[in-house]
Chain A
Amino acid sequence: MPEKTYLQAISDGLRQELRHDQRVFVLGEDVGVYGGAFKVTQGFQEEFGPWRVIDMPLSETAIVAGATGAALMGMRPVAEMQFADFVSCAWDHLVTVAAKQHYRAGTPIPIVLRLPSGGGFSGGPFHSQNPESSFAHIPGLKVVCPATPADAKGLLVSAIEDANPVLFFEHKHLYRRIKGEVPDERYSIPFGKARTHRDGDEIVVVTWGAMVYTASDAADVLEQDGVSVEVLDLRTLIPWDREAVLEAARRTSKVLVLHEDTRTGGFGAEIAATIAEEAFEYLDGPVKRIAAPDTPVPFSPPLEQAFIPQVDDVVAGLRHLAAY
């Protein structure tokens, strides 16, 4: 099986879908001639032509509204935001129209928004955010946060096939750093099924996106302490795999929820609350959250490093839970 970067896996998966289904098309800023801000759609316009790989004006509202209209007419648009941060410009069309259309009128809106998200490269407050929890809160939207190349491709296929608006968060820091085996053939990975990234039985870290790797490195350190830590990658937040989380919580009795998004109202709060409700009698310690502080993402590299949860932070949290 070929090894591919996270970015290549998304690119190949998307190309495969364009070939597989004539209803699928791509739109976004600079996705055509330029090949996308991160070159995910490089070469697409040559292969599929300017009517299936559409360079859009500098208006996220127009991109999301246009995708919504096309979906209403039976198409399967895949829209790219240059940075996930900018999707807020299209909030109204996404949240008020696309998310509620099926409920109001019975007409599905099968759109995919590809959202390069996350920090770690001094992109500052407009180019580094992880706004997944804002959209996880909106009924009618689905939220996907792949961590591995193989998941990125398989979940993208499910996202395109899904009848609802799907926000597909691609972590920028993983684009070229993470490689993994990705099958060449077309395959899909179902939403709502968590993946055990690393086995363990004393503490479970529930996380997603780039934090899967931070958690895994921290778990390696704890292994040297003699503490066995599981890392559970949620893969999708809406829907999220409650059963897998509760099973792991009941089995290990100690849970650390980790995310790169800021703390207050982050999706980790939903997970921690669910564990408290459903698995209270199985807990042997407080459900701990590690997340970014409630501030904008700083530009300065040392400050950004202090902002984004680091391996050392997770190690400290795990040791606290292990000793509890």
Chain B
Amino acid sequence: MATGTQIEVVMPQMGVSVSEGTITKWLKQPGEAVAQDEALLEISTDKVDTEVPSPGDGIVSEILVGEGQTVEVGTVLAVIAPAGSAVGAPAPVESAPAAPTPEATPPAPLAAAPSGSEPQSPQAPPAVGAPAGNGRTFVSPVVARIASEHGVDPTAVPGTGTGGRVTKKDILAYIESGAQAPAVVPAAAAPAAPVPPAPAAPAPPTAVKPAAPAPASAPLQQGEAQEPMTAMRRGVMEHMRRSLDTSAHVTSAMEVDMSKIVAARERLKKEYQSAYGVNPTYLAFVAHATVETLRDYPWINAEIRGESIVTRPWVNLGIAVALEDGKGLIVPVIRNAQDLNLLGMARGIADLAARARTKKLLPDDVQGGTFTITNPGGFGTFHGTPIISQPQVGILGTYALVKRPWVVQDELGQDVIAIRPLMNVTLTYDHRLVDGAYSGGFLRDLRERLEGWEQTD
């Protein structure tokens, strides 16, 4: 099945509304062989990170778009020449400019990553047998089993399979070579794992981003366990760091008397459940009131783009959803939340949460958010300082609803202590754009909406 002609690799369409993507990493460099369907590069579209498989067999002859650059769907990213054809020394590809062009729509902060990745310019392709990745992308079932039986970290084994994958042969040879003392207790690492004595010791994994917080090659200590990071984890890791590096986070908190909401919910619960099969959660009430309030505070529903401030008349409301095992976070988006009544909001939240937990979200579901709500209150937490989902400028936190003694006025205008259901809400905002007074106004109005809840919908 020799391919006689060159194959062009193009930026794939990752979702209906996705028009562009950012190259986060080239897994193959010019001159390297690549097989059909083998991972060729990693791209990032907003929150979904994915690998792009090679469309054919051959040798990467040219990389046309460098890491960190954002291009439109359909743009040619690389050329794959048929195996055996001569591949000229590639010209180094320019990485993304330090600052994004003003009209570029992608999140500005993306430019931070590529500058650090310049050292892995294609001029120095990695040694044969130690390509980038080194099996980090995929550990086969048998390798995983052997690794756990012998307490070996598969990522420490030099891989000779496709894309540097660690094969069964590789890990058996590694164990046999004594690189890892056979452990009697499964998963217990040998006391001091020496450097693998393989003839061509792999270069320190080039895959690790310079910005990675800890050196990935630190040997495991007795009793420590290691597991590869999922793409989602990597995405969260990168995003959280980038957000803190980008925005000036400030958090303000407000106590809200939820008496009327509790009453309204009691009233609506049965009807919603029986007529619509939807639970009117507190989150739905808060989300509805938040969207209403955002109308009066467009800068909290805004974005800093280059040197300008972008506001919009709609609210695409992100709802942070934890995966069921608590290891993983995704922020699906309710589009045009300003058009939804309470029922619509409750439905939207239930639908997104269900699909997020069953992994049925589409790339479009996690894109284009303009403001986010996170709700860690289910665990009883009463305060927090969430991190903003870039490129937004605000995130609302909602916390545990607790009964507290509260000073209210009775019908005679006298202060009395009453038992009231209280909820704390926080607004974390990007102080580059939003100031304390503006955010305080937002929280005050939000509280008034919730405390004075009168809608019947």
Whether A280 lies near B141 (C-beta < 8 A) is yes
A285 at the interface (CB under 8 A from B): yes
Partner of B165, one of A253, A280, A283, A324: A324
Whether A284 lies near B143 (C-beta < 8 A) is yes
Whether A284 lies near B142 (C-beta < 8 A) is yes
- What sequence of 0s and 1s flags, for each residue 246-262 of chain A, a beta carbon within 8 Å of any chain B beta carbon? 00000001000000000
Nearest opposing residue in chain B for A254, CB measure: B168
Give the bracket for the number of chain A residues in contact with chain B.
10 to 19
Whether B161 lies near A323 (C-beta < 8 A) is yes
A316 at the interface (CB under 8 A from B): yes
CB distance from A231 to the nearest CB of B (A): 20
A281 CA to B144 CA in the complex, in Å? Answer: 8
A91 at the interface (CB under 8 A from B): no
Partner of A282, one of B1, B141, B161, B165: B141
Nearest opposing residue in chain A for B160, CB measure: A323
B222 at the interface (CB under 8 A from A): no
CB distance from B290 to the nearest CB of A (A): 46
User: Count of chain B residues with Cβ under 8 Å from any Cβ of A?
Assistant: 14
B137 at the interface (CB under 8 A from A): no
A280 CA to B140 CA in the complex, in Å? Answer: 9
B167 at the interface (CB under 8 A from A): yes
Nearest opposing residue in chain A for B148, CB measure: A281
B444 at the interface (CB under 8 A from A): no
Chain B residues near A253 (CB, 8 Å)? 140, 142, 168
Chain A residues near B1 (CB, 8 Å)? 316
A253 CA to B165 CA in the complex, in Å? Answer: 15
B234 at the interface (CB under 8 A from A): no
Whether A283 lies near B161 (C-beta < 8 A) is no
Chain A residues near B168 (CB, 8 Å)? 253, 284
CB distance from B57 to the nearest CB of A (A): 10
Whether A324 lies near B161 (C-beta < 8 A) is yes
Chain A residues near B35 (CB, 8 Å)? 320, 323
CB distance from A265 to the nearest CB of B (A): 24
Number of inter-chain CB pairs below 8 Å: 31
Partner of A281, one of B141, B161, B165, B167: B141
- What sequence of 0s and 1s flags, for each residue 160-185 of chain B, a beta carbon within 8 Å of any chain A beta carbon? 01100101110000000000000000
A280 CA to B145 CA in the complex, in Å? Answer: 10
The residues in A between 286 and 324 inclusive whose CB is less than 8 angstroms from any CB of B are 316, 320, 323-324
Partner of B142, one of A282, A316, A320, A323: A282
Which secondary structure dominates chain B's binding surface? helix
Chain A residues near B141 (CB, 8 Å)? 280-284
Known: A284-B140, A285-B140, A316-B1. A324 touches B145 (CB 8 A): no
CB distance from A246 to the nearest CB of B (A): 13
Chain B residues near A282 (CB, 8 Å)? 141-142, 145
Chain B residues near A283 (CB, 8 Å)? 140-142
Nearest opposing residue in chain A for B167, CB measure: A284
CB distance from A177 to the nearest CB of B (A): 28
A316 CA to B141 CA in the complex, in Å? Answer: 24
Nearest opposing residue in chain B for A249, CB measure: B142
Nearest opposing residue in chain B for A202, CB measure: B169
Whether A324 lies near B142 (C-beta < 8 A) is no
Whether A281 lies near B162 (C-beta < 8 A) is no
CB distance from A276 to the nearest CB of B (A): 10
Whether A324 lies near B143 (C-beta < 8 A) is no
CB distance from A160 to the nearest CB of B (A): 42
Chain B residues near A281 (CB, 8 Å)? 141-142, 144-145
Chain B residues near A280 (CB, 8 Å)? 141
Chain B residues near A285 (CB, 8 Å)? 140
Nearest opposing residue in chain B for A323, CB measure: B162
A284 CA to B35 CA in the complex, in Å? Answer: 17
A253 CA to B142 CA in the complex, in Å? Answer: 7
Nearest opposing residue in chain B for A316, CB measure: B1
The residues in B between 102 and 127 inclusive whose CB is less than 8 angstroms from any CB of A are none
- What sequence of 0s and 1s flags, for each residue 23-63 of chain A, a beta carbon within 8 Å of any chain B beta carbon? 00000000000000000000000000000000000000000
A178 CA to B1 CA in the complex, in Å? Answer: 30
CB distance from A250 to the nearest CB of B (A): 9
CB distance from B256 to the nearest CB of A (A): 51
Chain A residues near B144 (CB, 8 Å)? 281
A316 CA to B83 CA in the complex, in Å? Answer: 15
A284 CA to B146 CA in the complex, in Å? Answer: 11
Chain A residues near B162 (CB, 8 Å)? 323-324
CB distance from A307 to the nearest CB of B (A): 16
CB distance from A139 to the nearest CB of B (A): 31
CB distance from A197 to the nearest CB of B (A): 23
Taking each of B143, B162, B165, B167, which has the highest tally of chain A beta carbons within 10 Å of its own beta carbon? B167
Chain B residues near A323 (CB, 8 Å)? 35, 161-162
A15 CA to B128 CA in the complex, in Å? Answer: 62
Nearest opposing residue in chain B for A286, CB measure: B140
A283 CA to B167 CA in the complex, in Å? Answer: 10
Nearest opposing residue in chain B for A313, CB measure: B1
A3 CA to B123 CA in the complex, in Å? Answer: 64
A99 CA to B161 CA in the complex, in Å? Answer: 47
A284 CA to B165 CA in the complex, in Å? Answer: 10
CB distance from A267 to the nearest CB of B (A): 24
Nearest opposing residue in chain B for A283, CB measure: B141
CB distance from B34 to the nearest CB of A (A): 12
Chain A residues near B169 (CB, 8 Å)? 202
A173 CA to B175 CA in the complex, in Å? Answer: 47
A284 CA to B144 CA in the complex, in Å? Answer: 9
Chain A residues near B142 (CB, 8 Å)? 253, 281-284
Chain B residues near A284 (CB, 8 Å)? 140-143, 167-168
CB distance from B429 to the nearest CB of A (A): 49
Pick 9 A–B contacts, CB within 8 A, sort by A: A253-B142, A253-B168, A280-B141, A281-B141, A281-B142, A283-B141, A323-B35, A324-B162, A324-B167
Beyond A253-B140, A283-B141: 20 further Cβ-contacts under 8 Å?
A202-B169, A253-B142, A253-B168, A280-B141, A281-B141, A281-B142, A281-B144, A281-B145, A282-B142, A283-B140, A283-B142, A284-B140, A284-B141, A284-B143, A316-B1, A320-B35, A323-B35, A323-B162, A324-B162, A324-B167
Closest 10 CB pairs of A and B: A284-B168, A284-B142, A284-B140, A253-B142, A281-B145, A281-B141, A253-B168, A282-B142, A283-B141, A280-B141
